[in-house]
Chains A and B, each alone.
Chain A
Amino acid sequence: MNLSSKEPTNWSYATKPTRWTVFFRTFPPWQAWRFVRLNMKMIRIIGLSHKGQEK
């Protein structure tokens, strides 16, 4: 678990994001679009879940 170790650790075998993926995570224009899309997706789930409150 030493960060400076060359020995394989858990994260040696994990999927890692590319530089572009990391960049777009905090790139405001792209994130503004994702903000709209994510809100729409969540509103859909909230609506679906409240429908289940019928008798």
Chain B
Amino acid sequence: MSVCTTDHAEETSRVFLETIEMMKRGEKKRFLIGVGHGSCTCEGAAFEYVVNLEFELRAHGVRDRAEITFITNEFELGDFGVDGMHIRRGGYVTPSRIFAESLFAERGIDWITKAHVRAVEPGLAHVETLDGGLFDLPFDMSMLLPPFSGVGLKAFNRKGEEITGSVFAPNGFMKVDADYTKKPWEEWRARDWPRHYQSPAYANLFAAGIAFAPPHPVSRLRTNAEGLMVSPAPPRTGMPSAIIGRAVARSIADMLSGSDKPTRAASMAEMGAACVASAGSNPFTGTAASLTMFPIVPDYERYPEYGRDIDYTFGEIGLAGHWIKILLHHMFLYKASLRPGWSLIPE
């Protein structure tokens, strides 16, 4: 049950409320939330979905009749497609896995990691894991994220010859100024990531936000004995997409004014991200996880120990995060409406 469009959200709300009514009559229900493929990204969205679902079940007084399972392609919870992060807390530098597992344990949400959903039929998901396990998971209500891919555009040159392969990567995203050389995780570098998002084939083509083809994942690649990849793809939505969009727009404006090359750079290996993940929507009892990291793509040459600057990487959960979420909601709508001073609101 998706909440990605208005129609989907209304349908999901209707089914969810019907399920709650059945639970109030004494029925037990199983919820399966997470990623629907071994190469999915945006695990944070599934994380928000499952903790909000649990929050709403508690609010409706039926939590004791619900069995909630989170299924993910992450090697460990808290990876989020960015290879996890480390945070100073309680005298230790602690991996994000500890906080993600803690939140799920506190709320009685079970989890399955390293998982790829092979097929889904009504009420049943067929699952394969990195260690070769095969099993079925029954459910009464489910939300499984689909994997990302490009829109499948075909490109042709002036002679009418197809050049799709030179403009787009096999996954449909556009190739830009990144280093796409195939290499093992040990040889991945922050400088592999694009800075200008300009096509190497055509100078007037740019791919901002999630449209560009990443040079490689951020999380380490893992495949099982059958060669099935079960590893998160890199997330690019939210703050990075918006900052990249602004940089590309400024570059294009400068090129239209006479510059012969892009004038603005926005590498994900040189920018940070702030993320607020809702964990319950209520202005008095709700909470949200507030996270920042710098940089998004770990740079082990600059920060050899953790790949990121620990002074700029933190996370905490609380009501304040939910207030920030409300504030951001109104600020972004204000900006999108182009009201006076909109351009002063940062991405």
Residues of chain A touching chain B, judged by Cβ–Cβ distance below 8 Å, are: 1-3, 9-12, 14-17, 22, 24-28, 31-32, 34-35, 38-39, 41-42, 44-46, 48-50, 52-55
Partner of B274, one of A3, A12, A17, A45: A45
Q: How far is the CA of A25 from the CA of B320 in the complex (A)?
A: 8
Closest 9 CB pairs of A and B: A11-B105, A14-B105, A49-B271, A34-B320, A35-B320, A14-B101, A31-B319, A52-B270, A42-B274
Q: Is the CB of B294 within 8 A of A45?
A: yes
Partner of A31, one of B108, B243, B323: B323
Q: Is the CB of B320 within 8 A of A38?
A: yes
Q: Is the CB of B264 within 8 A of A53?
A: yes
Partner of A10, one of B101, B265, B316, B320: B101
9 contacts between A and B (CB under 8 A): A3-B108, A15-B98, A17-B102, A35-B320, A46-B346, A50-B346, A52-B271, A53-B246, A53-B250
Q: Is the CB of B324 within 8 A of A42?
A: yes
Q: How far is the CA of A14 from the CA of B111 in the complex (A)?
A: 12
Residues of A within 8 A of B48 (CB): none
- B343 at interface by CB-CB < 8 Å: no
Chain B nearest Cβ from A31, distance in angstroms: 4
- Please tell me which stretch of B2-10, B13-21, B159-167, B282-290 contacts chain A, meaning at least 4 of its Cβ atoms lie within 8 angstroms of it: B282-290
- B144 at interface by CB-CB < 8 Å: no
Q: How far is the CA of A16 from the CA of B102 in the complex (A)?
A: 5
Q: How far is the CA of A42 from the CA of B250 in the complex (A)?
A: 24
Q: How far is the CA of A31 from the CA of B316 in the complex (A)?
A: 11
Q: How far is the CA of A52 from the CA of B104 in the complex (A)?
A: 36
Interface residues of B in 264-317 (CB under 8 A from A): 264-267, 270-274, 284-285, 287, 290, 292, 294, 312, 314, 316-317
Q: How far is the CA of A14 from the CA of B312 in the complex (A)?
A: 26
Specify which of A11, A27, A54 lies most central, judged by the most chain B CB atoms within 10 Å of its CB.
A11
Chain A nearest Cβ from B210, distance in angstroms: 17
Q: How far is the CA of A15 from the CA of B292 in the complex (A)?
A: 22
Residues of B within 8 A of A52 (CB): 243, 265-267, 270-271
Partner of B110, one of A9, A15, A45, A46: A9
Chain A nearest Cβ from B47, distance in angstroms: 15
Residues of B within 8 A of A38 (CB): 290, 316, 320-321, 324
Assuming A3-B64, A15-B98, is B274 touching A53 (CB within 8 A)?
Answer: no
Residues of B within 8 A of A9 (CB): 110
Q: Please give me the residue from chain A that is nearest to B323 by CB atom.
A: A35
Interface residues of B in 53-80 (CB under 8 A from A): 64, 67, 69
Chain B nearest Cβ from A16, distance in angstroms: 6
Q: How far is the CA of A16 from the CA of B110 in the complex (A)?
A: 14
Chain B nearest Cβ from A15, distance in angstroms: 5
Q: Is the CB of A10 within 8 A of B105?
A: yes
Q: Is the CB of B312 within 8 A of A48?
A: yes
Q: Is the CB of B272 within 8 A of A45?
A: yes
Chain A nearest Cβ from B21, distance in angstroms: 21
- B106 at interface by CB-CB < 8 Å: yes
Q: How far is the CA of A3 from the CA of B272 in the complex (A)?
A: 39
Q: Is the CB of B290 within 8 A of A42?
A: yes
Partner of A49, one of B273, B287, B314, B318: B273
Partner of A48, one of B98, B101, B110, B294: B294
Residues of A within 8 A of B317 (CB): 25
